[in-house]
Amino acid sequence: MNTTDIARRATWVSTATSFSLVCLKFTVGGLSGSVAVLASAVDSLLDFLVSLFNAFAVRGAEKPRDEDHNYGHGKLEGLAALLEGLLILGSSLFVFREAFLKFVNPRPFESTGLNLAMGVMLASLLASVGLSRYLQRMAAKTGNLVLEADALHYRTDVWSNAAILAGIAVIAFTGWTWADPVIAAGVGLYIAWAAIPLLRKSVDMLMDRALPEPLVERIRVIASTHSPRAGDVHEMRTRRSGAVNFVEFHIVLDENIPLGEAHRIGDEIEMRIRELEKTRWSINIHLDPVNDAWRDRKLAEEGG
């Protein structure tokens, strides 16, 4: 099974699991009256909507380039991750609101409702643990930002579900009903905090942030040391879009080198770069007969 099929299957597994949790939590949250369970239900609803969108985004991101999208559709991954981060922030605001209302107007819990709430949160905790581990493995296999975002999101669910479960247990044994909105507010704060790195990473992709510096340096070393007839490397540009690493640079070769040999050296460098990561690459190497880095810098700065 290729990475595209793995990513697609993982998003549908995530979608089905989150939908099941939405139905369960809203039902039990309504019966028990626990705002913490309802807060978790809202988070699961957003999980479901995002996972559903991600399933289509992963499929769209893998579409080959066309006349209107010469660099492919990989940035759909960045858009999906950005949407997920914004929805997470929105859900945290809703949770804060519900927690405040419940704190101002507390309601007693029925013992039956508490037992239901504890049961559903325990089931949700176990489901989140299993799903987050599964998505993390699939993200590592595919290098897919959407799956990585989903894995991070469900890891936050693990801790939030554990906190809610602990809070319900406190209420059951002590009768402190104020613990419900307080824990819900803490969950909301944690949800908002978890969204920040996700938003940063999605914006980095959309803004064409360079590949990690250690990887860029390895590319530079390969290019500059592969052949004794190759020298300076300049105008190095890198970025990642979806599952594709884009790399382009200029390399100075002996000006008396035959064209065929120059082309062979370029191909060999490209193949060595592709071995650095098991992902898709788009590599463009410009062969220079002399070092014109100063001219390239001037053209880049002045535009002419």
Which range, of 56-65, 75-84, 125-134, 216-225, averages the lowest pLDDT? 56-65
**Taking a C-beta distance cutoff of 8 angstroms, is the pair 143, 279 a contact?**
yes
Closest CA to 77 of 156, 183, 3: 3
Q: Under 8 Å CB-to-CB from 277, ≥6 apart: which residues?
A: 143, 215, 245
> Looking at the chain, which residues constitute the CATH 3.30.70.1350 domain(s)?
213-302
- Select from 3.30.70.890, 1.20.1510.10, 3.40.190.10, 3.40.50.1820 the CATH code of 3-206: 1.20.1510.10
- pLDDT exceeds 60 at position 110: no
165-192: per-residue pLDDT in tens?
A: 777 777 777 777 677 677 777 777 877 7
Closest CA to 171 of 125, 99, 108: 108
Beta-bridged to residue 66, according to DSSP, are none
> Looking at the chain, which residues constitute the CATH 1.20.1510.10 domain(s)?
3-206
- The pLDDT, as a whole number, for residue 231 is 81
**What gap in Å lies between CA 180 and CA 171, rounded to an integer?**
8
Q: How far is CA 80 from CA 130, 144, 179, 224, in A?
A: 23, 11, 35, 37
- Confirm or reject CATH 3.30.70.1350 for domain 213-302, answering yes or no: yes
CA angle (47, 52, 55) in 5-degree steps: 120
